[in-house]
Every structure is written in C-alpha cells, then in structure tokens.
C-alpha cells in the first residue's frame, strides 16, 4: 500500500514540473514579445507594418525583427507614419506662393524628422550666403635660373690661358672683374697694328687734318680690338705707353656666380669654346605645373605667393612670367613660369617651393562644401524647410576653396542646408522614395 502512494506522489510531482515548465516558457515568450512591443511602441496603432530595415543600409530589409552586424535593432517601416509633423502654415504659404517649385530629385524624397530624431542623428545646418568667391590653386615648383641672366664667357680668337682668376665653380664674381689672362698671337698683332696706326695718325695730324688716312687706320684698329673683347683700359694703356701687351686680361660680363668652368691654366682655347657660365641669381624663375582643368584660369601677370618647407619665415610675391603653350602628355599638366626677386640669395637653383594662386570669380552663393554629396553623376544638397522637413535638391557647383563651394543653381541665398549627418538623411530619403514607388501601383489600382 505504501508503494502505491509513493508511485502516485512521484507521478503528481512529474505533472507539476511539466506544468511549471510550460508556464515558464509561456512567460518567457510573453516577456520577449512585451520587450519587442516596447521597442516599437512608437509606431501608430492600426497601421500596417511593411518590413524591418537595416538602420545603416536601407537597402537591406527583413520581414521579421533582426539585428545588424553592430547589434543594432532593425527599424520597423509602416505604410504611414502619423507621428511625422505636418507642414506648418508658413511652409504651406511658401509652397503656394513659390514662383518655381524646386524640381524633384529622382530616387529621393523629402524627409520629415521629429525633434528627438534630429537631436539623436546630429543634423546641423548652415545658411547659404552671397559672398566673394575665390579659388585657391596650390602647386609645387622647382627653382631654376633666369635664362635672361645667364652669360656664357667665350673668346673670339685662338690662344692659351696664362692665368686664371676664377679657379672653381660656384665662385662669385662682379661685373668687370678679371677672370683670366690670355696670350693670343692675333691679339698681339692687333695691338701692334693699333700702335703703328696711332703713330701714323699723329704724324699726319698737322698735314691733312682730323680725317687723315692715319686717323682712319687708328679708328679701324681700335674697333678691331673692341670686337675682340679687349677691355677699354688695355686700349687706353696702349695709347699711353705705345707698347703691345704679351697677355690680355678679360673681364666678367655680369655679376653672378660661376655655374660652370671648363678651362684650366695653360690650356689652349679656340673661338666658340664655352669657358665660363656666369649666372645672376638676384632674380630667379620657378617652374610649376597646374592640372589640365586649371589651365584656363592662369595667365601671365597673375600674382602668386611662394613659401618653402625649409624656411617658414620666407614668403615672396611674384608674377606669372610665361605660360607654356603645350601640356605634358604623361602627367596632363601645364607648365607655368613664375618670376621672383631673390633677396640674400635665399632661393637656390634646384630647390622646391610651394606656390599659391588666388583666383577671383566675383560674387556668388556660397555654402560649406560638407553640404555637397557628390555621387559622381549628380550633386545633392538637403535643404531645411523647417518643422523637421528636409528636402533634397540637385545643385550645380562652381569653384571651391578653403572649405567653401560656389553654387551656380539649385538653391538660393538664405536657404539653410544640412552640413552634418546629410548621409543619414540621404539614406532615409532613398528609403522613402522606394516605399513611395512600391505603394504607388497599389494606390492607382484602388480597393
């Protein structure tokens, strides 16, 4: 009898545990549903649920609640959202009296957000203003000598170098300073010819007057010495002493630095040989390159500023001296030559320099460039219409500089454009356009 009671008690306990498990499962299911309902209790009652969408990518949807890769809940999408605020009277009046309503942007629709949604998404706006439009072109150039200030030292007669006064490349030299002395049989004979012609001219001076044959020979001999680059002080010494010099010292043709030296003491030289290259570096060129789309905006005479990375205190102002008439086929760039004064020779050939050009495009409508969403095919801006309503606009932009961009069409002055979180608005706008397009055939078909 005792065994029967024990068996009944065990059976009752099993039934109780089974009922308890069923109750716990039901309670868990109810709690899960309750939490899901709490999450989405913001949805208006009685409205049809269409699907759930990924909060970061509206193109990803799910027929049931889900989470994305970051653990964020999918957002429910309903056929109609009664919580979205309606247009204000001012908005209705603006729309009614508008001269030309803005064209709709294919694939995008206006978005309306609650104040809480605006705050959570971090939407920020800025006013479109009318202001001077400037474009900045920045490029890098290389310092090169001014070709008009490069002098080649050559001789016009054969001879031998007796002495060098400039012994190495890079040495500075002043105009008129001696650079080398030359022994040349032709120069010696030309000096003797000049001395004899001068003696003859002095003998005939009292006989035939100023234009005697001797005077004409003297003038011709003096001209010959000048054409052979014999210095004036050597000619004056010949007139004083009447004795030809064994060597003639030639002088530097300009101030500058010896950039090349191709002679040595005792070397035989011939006409046409380049003995020295003297370059004046008090003014230099900077060869820079601009992109092909900027080529039409540069022209000679424009001012540019020069800075360097190695000397932040250096800032020079110069002008475009020449614009090359052809592009570099490989880099698709146009070479532009700037001319700068070079005080204290702080710029040296071969250095790199940063060039900045400011281009003025007059006055126009200007907005922060962060408001532009460039897809490569079109440029979109969201305009704040008030009361949480944001309208997409397709715009045409002009020049941009220093975080600002010129707007040629699409918005007007004093419009307020979204400059932050506009990509979230674009996502919402794209989704709403998809929903409107999906609902349109059903509405046309009717009940």
Task: Write down the pLDDT at residue 204.
Answer: 78
Of the chain, the end-to-end C-alpha distance in Å amounts to 73
Buried b (16+ CB within 10 A) or exposed e, 397-415: bebebeebbbbeebbeeeb
pLDDT means per 10 residues, the chain with 447 residues, are 44 48 44 42 60 75 81 76 49 51 78 88 91 85 94 92 91 92 93 90 69 83 91 90 90 92 92 91 95 88 92 91 93 94 92 89 85 89 91 88 86 91 84 76 51
Residue 224, pLDDT score: 92
- Residues contacting 143, CB < 8 A, separation 6+: 284, 285, 286, 347, 348, 349, 350, 351, 352, 353
Q: Are residues 251 and 231 in contact, defined by beta-carbon separation less than 8 angstroms?
A: yes
pLDDT score at 402: 78
State residue 264's pLDDT score: 92
C-beta separation of 44 from 81 below 8 A: yes
Rounded to whole angstroms, the Cα distance separating 15 from 445 reads: 57
pLDDT for position 100 = 54
pLDDT in tens, 383-395: 999 888 999 999 9
- Backbone φ, ψ for residue 444 (5° rounding): -70, -35
Do the bridges between strand 303-307 and strand 268-269 make them parallel or antiparallel, or are there none, so unpaired? unpaired
User: pTM for the whole thing?
Assistant: 0.58
Task: For residue 341, list its beta bridge partners.
Answer: 283
Task: Give the pLDDT score at 174.
Answer: 93
> What residue ranges in 211-269 does DSSP mark as E strands?
248-251, 256-261, 268-269
The pLDDT, as a whole number, for residue 55 is: 74
């Amino acid at each position: 009898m005792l065994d029967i009671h024990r068996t009944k008690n065990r059976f009752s306990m099993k039934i109780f545990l089974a009922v308890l498990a069923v109750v716990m499962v039901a309670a868990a299911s109810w709690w899960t549903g309750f939490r899901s309902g709490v999450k989405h209790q913001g949805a208006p009652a009685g409205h049809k649920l269409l699907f759930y969408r990924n909060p970061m990518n509206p193109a990803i949807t799910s027929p049931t609640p889900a989470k994305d890769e970051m653990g964020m809940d999918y957002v429910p999408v309903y056929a109609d959202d009664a919580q979205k605020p309606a247009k204000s009277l001012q908005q209705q009046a603006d729309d009614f009296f508008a001269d030309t309503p803005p064209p709709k942007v294919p694939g995008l629709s206006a978005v309306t957000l609650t104040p809480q949604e605006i705050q959570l998404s971090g939407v920020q706006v800025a006013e479109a203003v009318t202001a001077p439009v400037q474009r900045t072109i920045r490029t890098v150039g290389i310092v090169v000598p001014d070709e008009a200030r490069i002098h080649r030292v050559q001789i016009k007669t054969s001879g031998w170098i007796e002495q060098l006064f400039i012994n190495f490349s890079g040495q500075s030299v002043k105009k008129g300073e001696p650079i080398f002395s030359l022994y040349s049989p032709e120069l010696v004979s030309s000096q003797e010819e000049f001395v004899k012609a001068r003696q003859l001219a002095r003998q005939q001076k009292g006989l035939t007057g100023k234009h005697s044959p001797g005077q004409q020979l003297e003038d011709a001999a003096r001209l010959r010495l000048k054409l052979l680059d014999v210095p004036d002080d050597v000619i004056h010494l010949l007139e004083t002493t009447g004795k030809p010099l064994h060597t003639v010292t030639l002088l530097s043709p300009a101030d500058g630095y010896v950039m090349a030296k191709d002679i040595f003491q005792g070397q035989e030289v011939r006409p046409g040989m380049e003995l020295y290259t003297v370059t004046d570096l008090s003014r230099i060129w900077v060869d820079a390159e601009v992109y092909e789309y900027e080529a039409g905006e540069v022209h000679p005479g424009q001012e540019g500023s020069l800075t360097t990375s190695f000397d932040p205190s250096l800032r020079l102002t110069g002008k475009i001296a020449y614009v090359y008439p052809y592009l570099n086929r490989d880099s698709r760039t146009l070479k532009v030559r700037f001319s700068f004064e070079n005080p204290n020779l702080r710029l040296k050939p071969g250095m790199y320099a940063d060039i900045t050009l400011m281009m003025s495009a007059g006055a126009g409508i200007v907005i922060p460039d962060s408001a532009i969403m460039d897809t490569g095919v079109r440029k979109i801006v969201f305009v704040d219409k008030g009361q949480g309503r944001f309208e997409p606009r397709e715009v045409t932009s002009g020049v941009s500089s220093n975080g600002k961009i010129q707007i040629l069409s699409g918005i007007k002055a004093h419009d307020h454009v979204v400059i932050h979180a506009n990509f979230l608005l674009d996502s919402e706008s794209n989704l709403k356009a998809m929903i409107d397009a999906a609902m349109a055939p059903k509405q046309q078909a009717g009940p």
